[in-house]
Amino acid sequence: MKTKHKNAPYLAEQAQDGAELIILIGSKAWQAWNKGEGLEWSLLAQAIKTDPKQPPVIIGESQLSEINFLNLAENDRTSVRLCQFGKFSHSEALPAVVANLAKNTQVQQLTLCDSLGELQENGNLSDWLKRTREQKGDSVADILASLAQDEDVKREPYIEKRTENGQRGLFYITPKFDRTTGEFISEKVQFLSDIVEVVGVGYNAEESHLILKFTPENRKKAVIVAQPLATIGKREGWQQLKAKGLRVTNNGTLKGVLADYLQLSGNRQEWQVTDKTGWINGAYILPNGEIIGESSKPTIFIGGTSVKSGYCTAGTAESWREQIANYAKNNASMMLAVSVALAGPMLTLLKKEPFGVHLYGDSSVGKTTTAYLASSVFGHPKDTKLSWFSTALGVANEALAHNDGFLFLDEVGQASNAKEIEISAYTLFNGVGKIQGAKEGGNRKIKTTRYQTGKGFIY
């Protein structure tokens, strides 16, 4: 590469002509490269799927101070990715880099990324590059002079997604400027949390929620949670989010900053928040929160069951017919049990009333085996079985989490007393929960549900 100064950026032969040029920029750029042996360079190359043996351009502090005298890329280069390592002035150095590329190259695609190659906020610089190229001036310095009056510099504290010391997250950035000249001096960077996005706002009958999306550490799959708006910024709210895998600062002041950010930023699309399973917005929700089908409205399940892990898939419909359902032939009890389980999701669609079945008989006549056969329609029989050894409220909550489905309650003899059985049975088949007062006054909304087919296999 041709240069106009002895302190030009390091550049060995790049990949084929026209390939994207990688430029490491910032106070730690040379350290990250480390003659090709740097761990940070290796991680970046792996992340963006480039050959780590192909050296990038390095723009460290000395090169940034003399950027006007350098040619950063070949004239015919069309795509450049700037990857930031350490600090550099976005208000001064970045315009100089853009001006340099605009004046000396034919680059059309220009991006500013973090140390793992991920696009920074407002990191697509292509339009800026195009506007700069249209500025009048015979040198980089001339272009910079013409741009100075329009420079958009963040002078107030702001929140930004970035990678600091190998940690990706949301950071609170406080820039510092010279009071006399207005020149950027430094910035204070404080960790807020892992990257968390507000993807919607949700409502149910009792409270409002923020729908948050984030990926816990060492997990590949993002989680989506409905966080009650009343808990945002409060101790219990942070505890709930941490329990789900979100890392959050322990600084109380910064927690307040993060709480305000969450309440005011992101997508404000309305979501359906429900604690009831079954048919919601045209889709079917299982007790583990899995949604089958396409919902007419974004929907999230916030209810729960103590047997959530039992709702899993094993085998195929064909193997189930051959190895399980086939043994129900000519067995009235087993045929009834399977029919009850299959009918659960159908009753709402057919607008039919729910019902339950009570199997009773002597010990070892096959009642549990029959119920296991029915339970296999929805998941693992032993892991979805529930016991009558529960409070009436516990049974009612489980019924809500099995709405439009199948609830298997085993061994009525394990119930604490006959009164609990009476209350539970009435709640199950009447479909109306207990009236409870609300601490803020009045009564809570009564939990109602179509306690569908097979809500009790009671022994």
Whether 293 and 312 map to the same domain: the answer is no
Give 6's pLDDT tier (boundaries 50, 70, 90).
Answer: very low
Are 382 and 371 in contact by the 8 Å Cβ rule? The answer is no
Q: What angle do CA 51, 53, 59 make, to 5 degrees?
A: 95
Residue 120 is assigned to a structural domain of this protein: yes
Give 66's pLDDT tier (boundaries 50, 70, 90).
Answer: confident
Number of domains in the chain: 3
The string of DSSP letters for 160-203 reads: EEEEETTEEEEEEEEEEE-TTT--EEEEEEEEEES-EEEEEEEE
| Predicted local confidence at residue 402, as pLDDT | 80
| Predicted local confidence at residue 216, as pLDDT | 95
Whether 32 and 126 map to the same domain: the answer is yes
Residue 242 is assigned to a structural domain of this protein: yes
Q: What angle do CA 306, 311, 314 make, to 5 degrees?
A: 150
Whether 334 and 244 map to the same domain: the answer is no
Whether 131 and 61 map to the same domain: the answer is yes
Q: What angle do CA 180, 185, 186 make, to 5 degrees?
A: 145
Tens digits of residue pLDDT in 113-137? 999 999 998 889 998 888 888 865 6
Residue 174 is assigned to a structural domain of this protein: no
Beta bridge partner(s), residue 81:
22, 111
Separation in Å, CA 322 to CA 142, 330, 336, 358, 366: 80, 15, 18, 27, 20
In whole angstroms, what is the distance from residue 430 CA to residue 419 CA?
16
In whole angstroms, what is the distance from residue 126 CA to residue 270 CA?
33
Domain that holds residue 108: 1-153
Residue 170 is assigned to a structural domain of this protein: no
Tens digits of residue pLDDT in 9-22? 544 344 445 589 99
| Residue 11 identity | L
| Predicted local confidence at residue 276, as pLDDT | 84
Residue 356 is assigned to a structural domain of this protein: yes
Give 156's pLDDT tier (boundaries 50, 70, 90).
Answer: confident
In whole angstroms, what is the distance from residue 33 CA to residue 9 CA?
12
| Residue 252 identity | G
Closest CA to 380 of 285, 321, 314: 314
Q: What is the mean pLDDT of residues 84-97?
A: 86
Q: What is the mean pLDDT of residues 139-168?
A: 72
Residue 89 is assigned to a structural domain of this protein: yes
| Residue 403 identity | N
Please tell me whether the overall predicted TM-score, pTM, comes out greater than 0.75 for this model.
Answer: no
Residues in Cβ contact with 409 at an 8 Å cutoff, skipping those fewer than 6 apart: 386, 387, 388, 395, 455, 456, 457, 458
- Given a cut of 90, whether residue 390 has pLDDT beyond it is no
Residue 328 is assigned to a structural domain of this protein: yes
| Predicted local confidence at residue 181, as pLDDT | 54
In whole angstroms, what is the distance from residue 149 CA to residue 127 CA?
18
Q: What is the mean pLDDT of residues 149-153?
A: 51
Whether 13 and 63 map to the same domain: the answer is yes
Residues in Cβ contact with 22 at an 8 Å cutoff, skipping those fewer than 6 apart: 44, 48, 50, 56, 57, 81, 83
Whether 278 and 323 map to the same domain: the answer is no
* Domain end position, chosen among 125, 153, 181: 153
| Predicted local confidence at residue 150, as pLDDT | 43
Whether 98 and 31 map to the same domain: the answer is yes
Whether 326 and 251 map to the same domain: the answer is no
For the chain, give the percent of residues with pLDDT over 90. Answer: 37
Which residue's entry shows tokens 């590059």? Answer: 129
Residue 9 is assigned to a structural domain of this protein: yes
Q: What is the mean pLDDT of residues 263-284?
A: 91
Whether 292 and 335 map to the same domain: the answer is no
Range from 109-118, 287-296, 402-411 that averages highest in pLDDT:
109-118
Per the model's pLDDT, the better-predicted residue between 452 and 148 turns out to be: 148
Q: What is the mean pLDDT of residues 80-109?
A: 89
- Tell me the two tokens of residue 101: 């590329």
Separation in Å, CA 390 to CA 61, 147, 368, 397, 433: 68, 72, 19, 11, 16
Neighbours of 46 (CB within 10 A): 12
Whether 205 and 348 map to the same domain: the answer is no
- Tell me the two tokens of residue 24: 């490491």
In whole angstroms, what is the distance from residue 210 CA to residue 217 CA?
21
Identify the sign of the CA torsion 219, 222, 228, 231. Answer: positive
Whether 245 and 382 map to the same domain: the answer is no
Whether 277 and 333 map to the same domain: the answer is no
